[in-house]
Amino acid sequence: MTHHPRPILVGVSLKMYFGHVQTLDWCSAVAGVTAEHHALRTGAAELFVIPGYLSVTGAVERLRGVASVGGQDLATEDRGAFTGEVSGAALREVGCEVVEVGHAERRRLFGETPDVVRAKTTAALRNGLAPVLCIGEAAQGDPEDAAASCIDQLDDALAGAVAAGIVGRVIVAYEPHWAIGAAEPAAPDHIRTVCARLRDHLDALAEQGAVSTSSAVIYGGSAGPGLLTTIGDAVDGLFLGRFAHDPAALALVLDEAAALRSTDADLPR
């Protein structure tokens, strides 16, 4: 069956690297270099940005028409006596479209268990947010083993939403724990193998009606300019961290996305 390729999805999480004013200045700079970018204007690429909580509303204003905005975490519940938590309902209310769930740092530093990740994934989908579901293996090893582990993590995270009949877009962010913060990303062949398996599994879930057909698999873990050109045949996009702190580097990744989709358009159908 002939179909047009889905947009290349490029996401950025700022973690806690920037202060509030610095974040807003960065958003303004990103809007400046990407607002008229060919990849975004033509629909070849789609951009999302995940700043710190305090900067979410300012980011929504500055990136309107350029990028969707998300939260770095959410509560398992939608309201109530949960001091310090931020609900998916509130994130959606202020204009968020995505929310990060289950990042390796949340699991390692804050003790998030698979049960918590499952509840947060359900909460995101319940509130119309696309979970950017971070999954990955702990130690470097065989890519087929890594793929099997990641598929298990994906199914477990979605189990609550599936049981409740809640269907929405899911963005699977494959981030091998050993590659996060490393000097280099995982090897291209490793990424291709794991992401291709995840892509096939996600497509099967979409066919079953368990997730939206707009769901995607992106790679994170020391991802930066140059990587998308190498692995673009096996992933739907990239999840960027510190390499996107320079807005010009983010524009370079969008250049790669435009080039990839231009190549796709030239292929026989």
- Of 65-69, 99-103, 131-135, 176-180, the one with minimum mean pLDDT is 176-180
pLDDT at residue 3 is higher than 50:
no
Residues 68-104 as b or e (16 or more Cβ within 10 Å = b): bbbbbbbbbeeeeeeeeebbbbbbbeebbbbbbbbbb
Name every residue whose Cβ is closer than 8 Å to that of residue 201 and which is 6 or more positions away in sequence.
151, 154
Question: CB 171: neighbour CB atoms within 10 A?
Answer: 26
| E strand spans, 86-191 | 98-101, 130-135, 171-174
Q: What is the mean pLDDT of residues 24-28?
A: 98
pLDDT of residue 268: 39
Q: List, for residues 79-92, the tens digit of each pLDDT value.
A: 999 999 999 999 99
Q: List, for residues 30-39, the tens digit of each pLDDT value.
A: 999 999 999 9
pLDDT of residue 1: 28
Q: List, for residues 38-74, the tens digit of each pLDDT value.
A: 999 999 999 999 999 999 999 999 999 999 999 999 9
pLDDT of residue 265: 54
**Average pLDDT taken over every residue of the chain:** 94
Q: List, for residues 228-253, the tens digit of each pLDDT value.
A: 999 999 999 999 999 999 999 999 99
pLDDT of residue 59: 98
Q: List, for residues 195-223, the tens digit of each pLDDT value.
A: 999 999 999 999 999 999 999 999 998 89
Q: List, for residues 180-197, the tens digit of each pLDDT value.
A: 888 888 899 999 999 999
Domain boundaries, the chain: 8-266
8-266, CATH topology level: TIM Barrel (3.20.20)
Please report which confidence band the pLDDT of residue 2 belongs to, taking 50, 70 and 90 as the band edges: very low
Distances (CA, A) of 213 to 78, 101, 206, 216, 245: 26, 20, 5, 8, 31
* Catalytic residue IDs: 103, 175
